[in-house]
Amino acid sequence: MYWADKIAEEIIKSGEYKPYWVDDMFTPSGYPHVGSLRGPLVHDVVYKALKNKGAKVKWTYIMNDFDPIDGLPPDLMDKLFSYMGVPVRLAPSPVEGFASFGEYFSKDIQSVLKNLGVEAQYLSSWDMYKEGKFNDVIKEALDNADKIQDIYEEVSGSKKREKGWLPLQVICEKCGKLGTTRVHDWNGKTVKYTCEPEMVKWAKGCGYKGEISPFDGNGKLPWKVDWPAHWKVIGVTIEGAGKDHSSAGGSRDIAKALCKEVFRYPNPFNIPYEFILIGGKKMASSKGLGLKARDLSQILPLDIGRFLFIRTEFRKQVEFDPTDPMAIPVIFDEYQKAADAYFDKTNEELARVFELSQVSDKIIKPPSVRFSVLTQWVQMPNMEEEIIKNGLESWAKYARVWLEKFAPEKDKFEVQKELPKEAKDLSKLQKELLNNISQELNKKWDAEEFQTKIYDLGKELGLGGKDTFAAIYLSLLGKDHGPKAAWLILSLDRDFVKERFSVL
One-letter amino acid at 71 equals G
Question: Quick check: 397 binds Zn ion (CB under 5 A)?
Answer: no
Among 46, 91, 172, 463, binds Zn ion (CB under 5 A): 172
Q: How many Å apart are CA 106 and CA 92, to the nearest integer?
A: 13
Q: What share of the chain is helix, strand, coil (3-state, %, to 5)?
A: 50, 10, 40
Q: Which is nearer to Zn ion, 127 or 173 (CB)?
A: 173
In a 3-state reduction of DSSP, which class is residue 177? Answer: coil
Q: Which residues on adjacent β-strands are paired with residue 60?
A: 23, 121
Q: Which is nearer to Zn ion, 149 or 169 (CB)?
A: 169
Q: Which residues on adjacent β-strands are paired with residue 170?
A: 219
Q: Build a one-symbol-per-residue string for 328-357: x at contacts with Zn ion by CB under 5 A, - elsewhere.
A: ------------------------------
CB 84, min distance to Zn ion, A: 12
Q: Half-sphere exposure of residue 340, counting CA atoms within 13 Å on the CB side?
A: 9
Q: Which is nearer to Zn ion, 206 or 401 (CB)?
A: 206
CB 101, min distance to Zn ion, A: 18
Q: Which is nearer to Zn ion, 106 or 169 (CB)?
A: 169
Q: How many Å apart are CA 371 and CA 327, to the nearest integer?
A: 12
Q: How many Å apart are CA 459 and CA 52, to the nearest integer?
A: 60
Among 175, 225, 308, 423, binds Zn ion (CB under 5 A): 175
CB 188, min distance to Zn ion, A: 25
CB 90, min distance to Zn ion, A: 13
CB 126, min distance to Zn ion, A: 19
Contacting range for Zn ion; rule: CB under 5 A; set: 109-117, 188-196, 241-249, 391-399? 188-196
One-letter amino acid at 416 equals Q
Contact 401, 371 (CB under 8 A): no
Q: Half-sphere exposure of residue 313, counting CA atoms within 13 Å on the CB side?
A: 8
Contacting range for Zn ion; rule: CB under 5 A; set: 31-39, 108-116, 175-183, 399-407? 175-183
Kindly determine how many residues on this chain lie close enough to bind Zn ion according to the rule CB under 5 A: 6
CB 197, min distance to Zn ion, A: 9
CB 89, min distance to Zn ion, A: 17
One-letter amino acid at 216 equals D
Edge-first strand order for the sheet with 121-124 is 20-26, 57-63, 121-124
Q: Which is nearer to Zn ion, 208 or 275 (CB)?
A: 208
CB 181, min distance to Zn ion, A: 7
Q: Which is nearer to Zn ion, 210 or 420 (CB)?
A: 210
Given its phi and psi angles, is residue 22 left (phi above 0), alpha (psi -120 to 50 degrees) or beta?
beta
At 25, which helix (H) or strand (E)? strand 20-26
Q: What part of residues 193-232 is at the interface with Zn ion (CB under 5 A)?
A: 195, 206, 208
In a 3-state reduction of DSSP, which class is residue 313? Answer: coil
Selection from 232, 252, 233, 227 nearest residue 242 by Cα = 252
Q: Which is nearer to Zn ion, 195 or 356 (CB)?
A: 195
Contact 305, 296 (CB under 8 A): yes
Q: Which is nearer to Zn ion, 68 or 458 (CB)?
A: 68
CB 324, min distance to Zn ion, A: 49
Q: Which is nearer to Zn ion, 140 or 196 (CB)?
A: 196
CB 38, min distance to Zn ion, A: 37
Q: Which is nearer to Zn ion, 175 or 359 (CB)?
A: 175
Selection from 402, 393, 352, 323 nearest residue 9 by Cα = 352
Q: Which is nearer to Zn ion, 42 or 203 (CB)?
A: 203
Under 8 Å CB-to-CB from 490, ≥6 apart: which residues? Answer: 445, 447, 450
Under 8 Å CB-to-CB from 399, ≥6 apart: which residues? Answer: 371, 374, 375, 377, 378
Among 6, 174, 365, 466, binds Zn ion (CB under 5 A): 174
Contacting range for Zn ion; rule: CB under 5 A; set: 20-28, 164-172, 290-298, 307-315? 164-172
CB 306, min distance to Zn ion, A: 44
Contact 107, 98 (CB under 8 A): yes
Q: How many Å apart are CA 171 and CA 162, to the nearest integer?
A: 21
DSSP E strands, 229-310? 241-242, 272-273, 276-278
Binding positions for Zn ion, rule: CB under 5 A: 172, 174-175, 195, 206, 208
